[in-house]
Amino acid sequence: MAATGKGSTGRGSPKLHPLIRAAGKKGQFPEWAVLGKARRAHAARVAALMGEWAAALGLEKLDRIRWKAAGLLHDALKDARPAALQPLVSDEGTWPDPVVHGPACAARLRAEGVTDEALLRAIAHHTTGHPDLDRMGEALYLADYLEPGRRSQAKWRATLRRGMPGDHDEALVDVAAAKISSLLKRRLPIPEMTVQFWAEIQRRL
């Protein structure tokens, strides 16, 4: 299992960035967020799941706020035009348009002074997965896919949700397999970091 991310708020500082505190404690989006009403509701449901799981894991208050903030903020730029987001990540390799909102949001948060690398990585890779995600990052990958507002395969998703956070690794295998299968069925490329993420998950089986 990956590290829990305990105390990893930016190496050494117990203080939370005001944007992270506002998101995780008050459910507030940054003023630069570009997302419609339905997407805000999705983000709020993901944040609620993240908060639930963090509490069930017995994480300290600071980490519970971080987990909720990651949930609320992960899609903060989802409704922006990809062409407007690509310049934000032009130094970080190639990001296909459907996934660029994650790294773009992380880049925007970094520009605002957020230094919590585990949280930035979680947001950047919430769609693709990444072998270096910590427990929070993997939980975000799961919460985004398992939140109760998603209608397709609702029973299957509910079953996986009920097993969380205890059956984290099992859920990760099932969700990653479903997401990768969906790419394959549509004959879409599998991002390299997703292939590496799958290999990391396989090591735990």
CB atoms within 10 A of CB 101: 27
- How many chain residues touch Fe ion (CB under 5 A)? 2
CA distance 48 to 57: 14
Pick 75 or 174: Cβ nearer Fe ion:
75
Minimum separation from the CB atom of position 126 to Fe ion (A): 6
Among 52, 116, 134, 144, binds Fe ion (CB under 5 A): 144
- Per the CB < 8 A criterion, the answer to whether 205 and 173 are in contact is yes
- Per the CB < 8 A criterion, the answer to whether 135 and 143 are in contact is no
Stretch that binds Fe ion, among 8-16, 128-136, 140-148, 166-174 (CB under 5 A): 140-148
CA distance 14 to 100: 30
- Site residues for Fe ion, 68-87, by CB under 5 A, read 75
Q: Is 147 in the site for Fe ion (CB under 5 A)?
A: no
- Per the CB < 8 A criterion, the answer to whether 98 and 119 are in contact is no
Residues 23-62: x where in contact with Fe ion by CB under 5 A, - otherwise, as a string: ----------------------------------------
Chain contacts with Fe ion (rule: CB under 5 A): 75, 144
